[in-house]
Structure 1
Amino acid sequence: MSSPPPSPPSHTFSTIAEAWISLSAFFVVVGISQWSSVLYSKVVKQRRPLRDPDEESTHTSITRPRASSGGWSLARLPLAAVNVFRVVAFRWTLEFGTYDLRVVDVFLTLAYIALLFGLTFEGVAEFGVTRFNLRYWSGRAGRLAASQLPLVTVLGTKHNVLSFITGIGYEKV
């Protein structure tokens, strides 16, 4: 008769907590950047002076504002960096068979898989006897995978909190 499986060590639960903390931190950063962008656009919209409708109709040509003396402005550098990121991340696609995948989707998926693998095999040298025990590692990977089921459930629903926080529609999340 075989002995009952050992109870999971406490470091397995800390690994699950680290996975959730990492995911939460990512969603907090995305949410803060999304909501700060929304608030910034509202503030800029309120500061723009309103034009008289007659004044708009008299202008037939669009004039470009003049650049500073060198053609470069340090104040516009962050906006330029954001625009470059958006072009690379959201417009460039990778062809994988019949699928076209955006660069940002591939990067985030690979980063998430790397996080889970890293957390699964974290501290290999510290465990001694369990170092080569396949049952231990499969149990640890299974517990980590099972801990991600609430995330799958949340991301699978049409109206979810993460879509509201990040500003990304449910079909893209």
Structure 2
Amino acid sequence: MRFFLPVLFFIFSLSYGYEDFVQYEKGYYYVVITKGSFKNVNSKLLEEIRIQGWDVIHTINVDKTTKMKSPYKTHLLCKAKYLKEGVKKFRPIGVIIPCKMAIFVEGNKIKIMVEDVSEYADIYAPEDQEFKKFMLKVRDELIGILNRTAGRFMKSRYTPYE
């Protein structure tokens, strides 16, 4: 049994494309990509979002709005299946959707971030374990999008932020 659990976790992580690219800081998960242009990375990010069944319902061009010189976009995401399930678990879910994913240039690197949506369960319905499980599922899928996008550009693995 001691050997079986780590092997099972490893197989599970491979099947979902989870690697050690994602780091965590102050309520959000992120990846840092060191190779590739902003345009190409953003294109692959959008492709990965769609592959996972999410819709980009709007993109905020933060760079244009704030007259920044470097690219910065925030994509607002929704997954119809999760919205339908979420409304059944927590009727006021509309106050926390859509999910937000930002991509911007930081120095000579590209950073992609997603908020930790699982924290909403603790804020809005701390006693509701079903809603908490649901939000963890949404969070894990968003982290998976970050991992798979980073995996398209990097071969090495990150050490998680501590």
Q: TM-score, normalised by structure 1?
A: 0.30
Higher relative contact order (CA 8 A, sep 6+): 2
Bigger share in helix: 1
Which has the greater radius of gyration?
1
Q: TM-score, normalised by structure 2?
A: 0.32
